[in-house]
Chain A
Amino acid sequence: MLDFLLDKKGFFVAATRPKTHGQGRDTERQMSYVRALTCKECAADYPVEPRTVCENDFGPLEVAFDYTAMRGNVTRESIQAGPDSLWRYKDLLPVEGPPRAGLRSGMTPLIRADNLAKKLGVKDLYIKDDSANYPTFSYKDRVVSIALTKALEFGFDTVACASTGNLAHSVAAHAAAAGVRSFVLIPHDLEEGKIVGSLVFGPRMVKIHGNYDDVNRLCSQIADKYNWAIVNVNLRPFYTEGAKTLGFEIAEQLGWQLPKHTVVPVAGGTLLPKVWKGYREFIELGLVKDNQPKMYAAQAQGCSPVVEALRNGRELFKPQKPDTIAKSIAIGNPADGYYVIKIVNDSGGYGAAAQDQEILDAVKLLAQTEGVFTEPAGGTTLACAIKLIESGRIPRDEPICVCITGNGLKTVEAMQGQFADVPIIPAKLNDFDRVVDELAQQPAPGAALTSPLVSVDPPTPRTQPTAATKPATP
């Protein structure tokens, strides 16, 4: 059993490791099950330190765990005895001591979306709603929780990032709560409205003359010279592990089962491979049955290098210049795009891309059927899920999970012009009666999805089409 203490804010935090954990293992490694950092290309091992790429082939490094030692110690019961946050999966995360950040992050709702399912004609549809993540309403609160905790374990006194959106908000907020200095680097010409969401948490913000690539390049140099923790640069192997918790939660909240089909937005390519890794780890530990889950990539049409490669059967993607309303996933040269393509193909999934209007329609559809207001990235994921369903790539009678990764209240400007004018009337009951009659003529809520969703290649039937794979008739 885990022992728990109340932290300063009244939340339970794990105080000690399970008593049985680490028996027979050397003292230095008793604190976690981390074995090493391993190159994803050549499998070379490196010590656990702020290091990002392999010296041999520059392949990305990933945290490797000792699953043999975990087996029998990391159980459904040990997880359920943990706190009501992503830290209930601490044994599967690359953290040695107690959590130092994000004590209330994670464990976001998994919504059984019956209204939306009925609308789409599918049987079991779930929305993993990270628009409700804490404290900054996006999935980035997961990865930053781990990165900031690891930064403090490594002894960094400053955390930083180059971002203008969800990542910047999360880094600034978590750093403020942890009492750590933070820096946010942004291009000099960024709109003021995007800056406030970070500045309110009190980071040091620096505007850099140049474009995004210039800022990114500078970040690498800063990490080297100043010995700062740039969460998505020199702490990337640890940061990305936080994304696994999205997959862990889906499985646990589904009653220790995996959805057959998981649709994930793709930006830099962190999330999809890590949700997959989370699924595989639960399977490896015997916590869930291997039902051969399939992973699907969702991108905006205006920035769809991964989906374009999937459609054309290529292992490599061509970088693109982003042009989409879904700015939080607008990465034209995704660092982990290659691995997204590999996992999607290995799992038997596919990819879809959505036009901007389809994205906005899907935002409205989700809001008007399930009461969830997501940012355009979430609209992208849902719009792509619909395309995959309509094309028969995702069967209508198998469990589907759509990952919603950010909150629409952060990007209300994206929805401007999407709604009819709001009537203004005198304060008289007769006028109100008239307006009620007029409004009754308008489409009912939930009828927002108006544009036809097309352009996903239907699957090639292996034999005769079955009820499960046959493209649905509208």
Chain B
Amino acid sequence: MTNTTNTQQKCWLTFEGGHQNEPCLWKMTVEFPDVAFDIRQASVQKDIGIMAVLFTGKEDRVTAAIQYLTNLGVKVDPVEGGDLVAG
């Protein structure tokens, strides 16, 4: 059963290891044309890129799209998270 609730998810995307030079978000939209992405800020340097992105769509599709990006090698972190310390 699919979850058809509309949702928005704020994420930090970190691109490194060559992924900063790949059109990862474009690839995502090819696979998930029903998931909208809104880049709120971005900083890209030679060996790393960081983006703040708002994803909008059906909950299960947004989740799948984020998983797709993760599988591509993009690090995806929620915007509103704390620091968890292991000590």
Binding site for B on A (CB under 8 A): 41, 52-53, 56-59, 161-167, 212-213, 215-217, 219-220, 223, 230-234, 236, 267-268, 270, 314-319, 322, 326-331, 333-335, 375-377, 411
Contacts and interface: CB of A to CB of B under 8 A. Distances in A.
Nearest to A376: B87
B81 A328 contact: no
A58 B82 contact: no
A331 B52 contact: no
A223 B80 CA distance: 10
A58 B39 CA distance: 10
Contact of B80 (A53, A165, A317): A53
A57 B52 contact: yes
Given A164-B85, A233-B81, 9 more contacts: A56-B40, A58-B40, A166-B87, A167-B85, A215-B84, A317-B48, A327-B87, A330-B86, A333-B77
A318 B50 CA distance: 10
B63 to A, nearest CB: 12
Contacts of B83: 232, 267-268, 270, 331, 334-335
A318 B48 contact: yes
B56 to A, nearest CB: 14
A165 B85 CA distance: 7
A216 B40 contact: no
A166 B84 CA distance: 11
Interface string B52-87: 101000000000000000000001011111111111
Contacts of A326: 87
Q: Which 7 A-B pairs have the closest CB atoms?
A: A327-B87, A268-B83, A328-B87, A232-B82, A58-B52, A165-B87, A233-B82
B85 A57 contact: no
Contacts of B10: 53, 58
14 contacts: A53-B79, A56-B40, A58-B54, A167-B85, A212-B84, A217-B81, A232-B82, A233-B80, A236-B82, A267-B83, A268-B83, A315-B45, A328-B86, A328-B87
Query: Which of B40, B48, B85: most chain A CB closer than 10 A?
Result: B85
Nearest to A217: B78
A316 B48 contact: yes
Nearest to A314: B45
A223 B82 CA distance: 11
Contacts of A236: 82
B47 A267 contact: no
Nearest to A235: B82
Given A52-B80, A53-B10, A319-B14, A330 B85 contact: yes
Nearest to B83: A268
B45 A162 contact: no
Contacts of B84: 162-164, 212-213, 215-216, 331
Interface of B: 10, 12, 14, 16, 40-41, 43, 45, 47-48, 50, 52, 54, 75, 77-87
B40 to A, nearest CB: 5
Nearest to B82: A232
A331 B41 CA distance: 23
Query: Which of A220, A231, A328: most chain B CB closer than 10 A?
Result: A220
B85 A268 contact: yes
B82 A335 contact: yes
Contacts of B79: 53, 58
A165 B86 CA distance: 7
A162 B54 CA distance: 24
Nearest to B43: A316
B32 to A, nearest CB: 20
Given A53-B10, A53-B80, A318-B16, A330 B87 contact: yes
B86 A322 contact: yes
A337 to B, nearest CB: 10
Contacts of A232: 82-83
Contacts of B40: 56-58
A219 B83 CA distance: 11
Contacts of A58: 10, 12, 40-41, 52, 54, 79
Given A56-B40, A316-B45, A212 B86 contact: yes
B86 A219 contact: no
Given A58-B40, A234-B80, A319-B14, A267 B85 contact: yes
Nearest to B44: A316
B48 A219 contact: no
Nearest to B51: A58
Nearest to A140: B85
A219 B75 contact: no
A56 B41 CA distance: 9
A41 B87 CA distance: 31
Contact of B85 (A41, A163, A230, A411): A163
A458 to B, nearest CB: 25
Query: Which of B14, B47, B54, B79: most chain A CB closer than 10 A?
Result: B79
A315 B82 contact: no
